[in-house]
Chain A
Amino acid sequence: MRLAVCVKEVPEASARTRIDPGTLRLDRGGAATLNPFDAHALEEALRIKERTGEGEVVAVMMAPLPAADSLRKALAIGADRAVHVADDALAGSDLVATARTLAKAVEREEPDLILLGQQGGDSDGAVLWSALADLLRLPVVSQAASLELAEGKVAVKRQTEYGYDLIEAPLPCIVAVSDAINEPRYPSLKGIMGAKKKPHETLNAADLGLGADEIGEAGSRTEVYALADPPSRGDSVRIEGDGAAAEKVVEYLTERKLI
Chain B
Amino acid sequence: MPTLVYLEDHEGELVKGSLGVLTKAAQLGGDVAAVVCGSGVQGLAAQAGRYGAARVYVADDPALVAPLPQPRVDVLEALVRERGFDTVLFGASVLATDVAAGLAARLPAGLNWDLVDLEVRDGKLVGRRPALQDSVYADVGWKGEPRLALVRSGTFEPVEGGGEAEVEELAVQTQDFSRQAVMLERAHAESEGPSIEDADVIVAGGRGLGSPDKFGLLEELAQALGGAVAATRAVVDAGWYPYATQVGQTGKTVSPKLYFACGISGAIQHKVGMQASGTIVAINKDPNAPIFEYADVGVVGDLHQIVPKLTELVRERRT
Contact = CB atoms under 8 A, between A and B. Distances in A.
Given A124-B114, A167-B183, A239-B300, A139 B139 contact: no
Nearest to B298: A238
B181 A168 contact: yes
Interface residues of A, number: 85
B100 interface: yes
A160 B93 contact: yes
B296 A236 contact: yes
Contact of B302 (A123, A124, A181, A242): A242
- Give the size category of B's interface with A: 35 or more
A96 B189 contact: no
Contacts of B134: 230
B181 A169 contact: yes
Contacts of A94: 110-111
A237 B143 CA distance: 42
Given A162-B187, A229-B136, A220 B143 contact: yes
Interface in A1-46: 13-14, 17-19, 24, 26
A248 B297 CA distance: 10
Contacts of A169: 180-182
Contacts of A99: 105
A149 to B, nearest CB: 15
B132 A18 contact: yes
Nearest to B252: A161
A108 interface: no
Contacts of B298: 236-239
A210 interface: no
Given A95-B101, A180-B237, A133 B70 contact: yes
Given A162-B188, A165-B185, A168-B182, A220 B105 contact: no
Main secondary structure of the interface of A (DSSP, over half): mixed
Contacts of A206: none
Interface in A205-249: 220-230, 233-234, 236-242, 245-249
Q: Which of A24, A160, A240 has the most CB of B within 10 A?
A: A160
B65 interface: no
A124 B295 CA distance: 20
B183 A236 contact: no
B225 interface: yes
Nearest to B310: A246
A123 B101 CA distance: 15
B83 interface: no
A130 B97 contact: yes
Contacts of B108: 96, 221
Contacts of B73: 134
Contacts of A164: 187, 243
A229 B225 CA distance: 35
Q: Max chain A CB contacts within 10 Å: which of B188, B237, B278, B306? A: B237
5 contacts: A130-B69, A159-B236, A167-B181, A223-B141, A238-B292
Given A122-B132, A128-B101, A242-B306, 11 more contacts: A95-B105, A127-B101, A131-B101, A140-B102, A145-B237, A162-B187, A163-B187, A168-B181, A222-B111, A226-B138, A246-B312
